[in-house]
Amino acid sequence: MEKILSGVLALVTLVFSSCSCNQNKEDDLLKEENPAPEVPKGRDDETGTGETDGYKLVWADYFNGTELNTEDWNIEVNGNGGGNNELQFYRAANVTVENGCLVLTAKKQDYNNKAFTSGRLNTKNKRFFTHGKIESSIMMPKTANGLWPAFWLLGNDIDANPWPNCGEIDIVEMGHSTGIKNGTQETYFNGACHWGFYKDGGYPNYARSSNAPYSIQDGEFHLFTLIWDETAVAMYLDMDKYPDVEPYYKMNIDSTDGEWATGKYFHHDFFIVYDLAVGGNFPGIWNADGITALADGDRSMYINYVKVYQK
């Protein structure tokens, strides 16, 4: 009887050992087919546009450590769709600091009744500013089709003055449905502002889209700069390389005539937001099957640094 049991146990051990070896081989093959993306190194040159035209640096984060500085940043955790019918659940695990970069990673991952996870964070009630030159060096992911990376600002009084009354300044967004339709996802981008309050089913906003003269999803870092003063908000692409570049977006904010006047909504403290959304109203994709950007694995948005200058 003992010999029979011994033989059975040996056979079971052999079967499980064989299964384990086969599973390990399958795992190794999967890793070879879908290797983890290498985290790029942040640029050694972190000068940006520098202290020009009377602007002095008042705050910066170069993300050169190994952890996010939670004295400056809040990681958002939710699956509420951002008011835009987005498809992701924002998790803390998708926000990391690696190799001199802040990294937001979008994944095809079932989590809390969502088909995707990603990352979003902000400086609300921790780092907020009225006017200045605000810029960030960003390596954009390939957005086609369905990713929606953004670098933007929200009014720090949002709890007392719910959106859009608090004001919103979108410094850069990519992944719009027009770029998808025209096959210009790597060059099509925009800036925008939202403000005021709902009246007769609408509220005031102004967005302007552009096609960059080169890809800004080329695996390189690009600088996005907002110059925001008493008279206007203006946004620039790669101003560190091209100091005389014209703004891709500009809106005057000096009018106080009327209840929706821009001058009433853009002269108070705003905080910084980064996010990498998946699907929703901006890309015009509301079904997980329409998201092709993550078909071959994860995609990440890399932020080399963010800087705030004031006069």
What are residue 179's phi and psi, to 5 degrees? -65, -40
- Concerning whether 135 is annotated as a catalytic residue, the answer is no
- Which one of the listed residues 168, 186, 246, 259 is annotated catalytic? 168
Neighbours of 303 (CB within 10 A): 23
Cα–Cα distance for residue pair 6/187, rounded to 1 Å: 68
Kindly give, in sequence order, each residue whose CB lies less than 8 Å from that of residue 305, ignoring residues fewer than 6 positions away.
Answer: 42, 46, 48, 60, 61, 62, 63, 136, 137
Residue appearing with tokens 């390189």: 220
- Concerning whether 168 is annotated as a catalytic residue, the answer is yes
Q: How deeply is 305 buried, as exposed, middle or buried, from its count of CB atoms within 10 A (0-12, 13-18, 19+)?
A: buried
Residue appearing with tokens 């919103």: 168
Cα–Cα distance for residue pair 116/109, rounded to 1 Å: 5
- Which one of the listed residues 33, 86, 98, 173 is annotated catalytic? 173
3-state class (DSSP) for residue 16: helix
DSSP assignment string, 49-88: T-S-TT-EEEEEE---SSS--TTT-EE--B-SGGGTT--E
The H or E element spanning position 182 is helix 177-182
- Exposure of 63 in the CB half-sphere (CA atoms within 13 A): 26
In order of 20, 132, 207, 248, the CA distances from 172 in angstroms are 48, 17, 11, 10
In DSSP terms, 21 is beta-bridged to none
Cα–Cα distance for residue pair 7/27, rounded to 1 Å: 30
Residues classed as catalytic? 168, 173
